[in-house]
């Protein structure tokens, strides 16, 4: 579908679709011809999810972080917490000690809020 078709399906202006793509919330179109954009149901579903979260009052930056985990691979679920890894990251690129410190700090802060 074209950019205008996608915008119509989502009920937003085409410039908002361009913003969502520029911000990395929606993937870019797969070009299918000289003047045709290749948007599909993935764009519709992600766009609908973004708009629903936005209507609930979430800020675009927070939605982007939340939606980034859609494609992440869950590697652990324990105690009501899930650990996910973004696909494509090299295991060697993960500083395990730094990640563990960040997770511990985040969980302690969450628990302290009661």
Q: What is the pLDDT of residues 58-86, one digit of tens each?
A: 998 888 888 877 778 888 889 888 888 88
Q: Is the pTM of this model over 0.75?
A: no
User: Is the pLDDT reported for residue 40 higher than 70?
Assistant: yes
User: Is the pLDDT reported for residue 44 higher than 90?
Assistant: yes
Which structure tokens are listed for 55?
Answer: 């209507």
User: Is the pLDDT reported for residue 33 higher than 80?
Assistant: no
Do 38 and 29 form a contact (C-beta atoms < 8 A)?
yes
Which structure tokens are listed for 50?
Answer: 């973004």
Which segments of 1-114 does DSSP mark as H helices, in order? 3-10, 14-22, 41-55, 60-68, 96-112
Give 48's pLDDT tier (boundaries 50, 70, 90). very high
Q: What is the pLDDT of residues 2-15, one digit of tens each?
A: 999 999 999 999 99
Closest to 68 measured CA to CA, from 38, 102, 109, 27: 27
Give 102's pLDDT tier (boundaries 50, 70, 90). very high
pLDDT for res 36: 64
């Amino acid at each position: 579908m074209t950019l205008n078709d996608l915008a119509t399906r989502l009920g937003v202006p085409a410039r908002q679709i361009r913003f969502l793509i520029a911000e990395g919330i929606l993937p870019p179109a797969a070009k299918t011809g000289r003047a045709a954009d290749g948007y599909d149901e993935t764009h519709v579903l992600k766009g609908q999810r973004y708009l629903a979260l936005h209507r609930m009052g979430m800020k675009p930056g927070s939605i982007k972080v939340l939606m980034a985990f859609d494609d992440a691979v869950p590697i652990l679920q324990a105690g009501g917490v899930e650990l996910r890894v973004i696909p494509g990251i090299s295991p060697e690129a993960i500083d395990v000690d730094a990640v563990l410190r960040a997770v511990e700090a985040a969980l302690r802060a969450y628990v302290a809020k009661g």
